[in-house]
Amino acid sequence: MQDIPINGLSGLAYLPGHFGREAQEDLLERIRAIVAEAPLFQPVMPKTGKPFSVRMSNCGPLGWVSDINGYRYQPTHPETGKPWPEIPAVLQNLWSELASEAPEPEACLINFYDTGAKMGLHQDRDEQTFEAPVISVSLGDTATFRVGGVNRKDPTQSFRLQSGDVVVLGGKARLAFHGIDRVLKGTSTLLKNGGRINLTLRRVTPFD
């Protein structure tokens, strides 16, 4: 495990290649089954209604959604109205290993990036608690991601996230600004048609 201090922020751990090819294929199969139940939707920005370039779905008791009214977590899919599918055991186990002090994750956001999709610099702050880390798993094409500090204007550093990489955002890094600048076409054979999937496991409600 590598601990990368960025702008003096502790708590960012990078686990390159945590999942090998076979584990990535198994995980991808789980995600495909989830997306068959809970189809990818295209969120829009609150107020402006501008569509995200990333398509999303979720699994777990709560899912993150964004529409004209705002960002929020909700127990059902915005289009089907059905509860989100369960978080696969392999991801529950990952959380137990890497966030052993935190209670179980409540949301797993599934981001799908076509080549050309990106995600602007933002903080993850729609959760009711920031005590638990956010855990990220990347699958498919390599992305360049950017992490700064807790203030939007803090300097940023860019890293590449490859298929199978895991990042744990705990401590002060939990509220760091971050984003995805671009997805590098043809860098992985995991997804037949290219693109990238990122999974983020989150605790939403406060601990007991």
Q: Binding residue for ligand MD3 (CB under 6 A) from 108, 132, 134, 166?
A: 134
87 touching ligand MD3, by CB under 6 A: no
- Does 57 participate in binding ligand MD3 (rule CB under 6 A)? no
Nearest distance in Å: CB 43, ligand MD3: 11
Give the phi and the psi of residue 159 in degrees, each rounded to 5: -135, 160
- Nearest alpha carbon to residue 141 among 156, 162, 123, 121: 162
When the beta carbons of 106 and 124 are compared against Fe ion, the nearer one is 124
Q: Which of residues 143-202 bind ligand MD3 (CB under 6 A)?
A: 145, 147, 167, 169, 173-174, 176, 178, 180, 198, 200
Least distance from C-beta 21 to ligand MD3, angstroms?
Answer: 20
H/E stretch holding 161? strand 157-161
For residue 3, the minimal CB distance to Fe ion (Å) is 20
Helices and strands: H and E segment counts in the chain: 2, 13
Considering the complex, state which of residue 160 and residue 208 has its C-beta at the smaller distance from ligand MD3: 160
Contact pattern for Fe ion over residues 110 through 129, marking x by CB under 5 A: --------------x-----
Which residues between 9 and 38 bind ligand MD3 (CB under 6 A)? Answer: none
Binding of residue 111 to ligand MD3 (CB under 6 A): yes
In terms of CB distance, is 41 or 208 closer to Fe ion? Answer: 41
Choose the one of ligand MD3, Fe ion, none that binds residue 30, judging by a C-beta under 5 to 8 angstroms depending on kind: none
Report the alpha-carbon distance of residue 3 to residue 22 in Å, rounded. Answer: 26
d(CA 199, CA 208): 25
What are the CB-based long-range contacts (under 8 Å, 24+) for 34-38? 34/59, 34/85, 34/88, 34/110, 35/110, 37/82, 37/85, 38/63, 38/77, 38/80, 38/82, 38/84, 38/85
With 0-12 / 13-18 / 19 or more C-beta atoms within 10 angstroms meaning exposed / middle / buried, residue 93 is: exposed
Among ligand MD3, Fe ion, none, residue 6 binds (CB under 5-8 Å by kind):
none
78: tokens are 């915005």
Binding site for ligand MD3 (CB under 6 A): 109, 111, 119, 124, 134, 136, 145, 147, 167, 169, 173-174, 176, 178, 180, 198, 200
